[in-house]
Amino acid sequence: MSQSETASSQVLTTVDVVVLTLVDGVLSVVLVQRERAPFAGVWALPGGYIHAQEDADAHASAARVLRSKAGIEEAYLEQLATFSGPARDPRGWSVAISYCALIPQQKLPAQRVSLKIVPVHAAGQLPFDHGQILQTALARVRSKSQYSSLPVHFFGESFSLPQLQQVYECILGEPLNKVSFRRKMDELGMLEPVPGEMQAGGAHRPAQLHRVRPAFRQQLALSVRGL
């Protein structure tokens, strides 16, 4: 083996996943406690090596890491970006294929000592370049929420349009006009009413519950115009 081939074989290849959820209307990130050096015992994004003999592709690697490191089986998952270089990992030159996952809070593991959920603004100092990866994910989610159905993946099976509008507003950080928002949801065409299902409205009228059409449960509806 030549010297160049030996050097290339030493590049570390991993996946890192930013798992976002909503807790009491606050955008939050899932962190796991690292078991091994470097940074043993430190809270970090779920991540791990690609298993060349086991994983069909990087997406499969990310899904496996979520299952094994965070106990997460069901999440909307999309590739985010690639981070690389000699300085991001003290073990050596590395390439990390990062992913962003969105999941309803109720689908997260009920109890897991090595897992915690914190508001994204309180994530603190993260190891490696996980802080940069988190910020990249937040920028992606906020950008895509302007013109796509991405925020629906923070919900479970059903939700009302007022609830959905609140989530869009939480992500975008600004209030939205109710009429314009509902028109945009109609244009996206990704929702259907749940027959006979209403949300109790307290002091307000009950709201019709909706669900994501099957065709859009693992892909996004897109709009040519933003909100």
Give tens-digit pLDDT for 40-60: 999 999 999 999 999 999 999
Q: How far apart are CA 13 and CA 95, in angstroms?
A: 5
pLDDT at 112: 75
How sure is the predictor about 219, in pLDDT bands with cuts at 50, 70 and 90?
Answer: confident
How sure is the predictor about 5, in pLDDT bands with cuts at 50, 70 and 90?
Answer: very low
φ/ψ of 63, rounded to 5, equals -65, -40
Furthest CA-CA distance within the chain? 74
- Written as six digits, the tokens of 144 are 């895509």
Residue with tokens 């909100």: 227
The beta-strand segments (E) located in 120-185 are 159-160
103 near 144, Cβ under 8 Å? no
Q: Rounded mean pLDDT of 18-41?
A: 95
pLDDT at 1: 42
Query: Strands 94-102 and 12-23, how do they pair?
Result: parallel
pLDDT at 216: 87
- Over residues 192-203, the pLDDT tens digits come to 999 988 877 655
Q: How far apart are CA 134 and CA 204, in angstroms?
A: 38
Q: How confident is the prediction for the chain on average, in pLDDT?
A: 91
- Written as six digits, the tokens of 81 are 């970006």
Q: Rounded mean pLDDT of 5-13?
A: 68
pLDDT at 197: 82
| Best CA proximity match to 100, nearest among 124, 120, 127 | 120
pTM: 0.90
- In the predicted structure, residue 2 carries a pLDDT above the cut 50: no
Q: Rounded mean pLDDT of 21-34?
A: 95
By three-state DSSP, how is residue 123 classified? coil
Report the share of the chain in percent with pLDDT over 70: 94
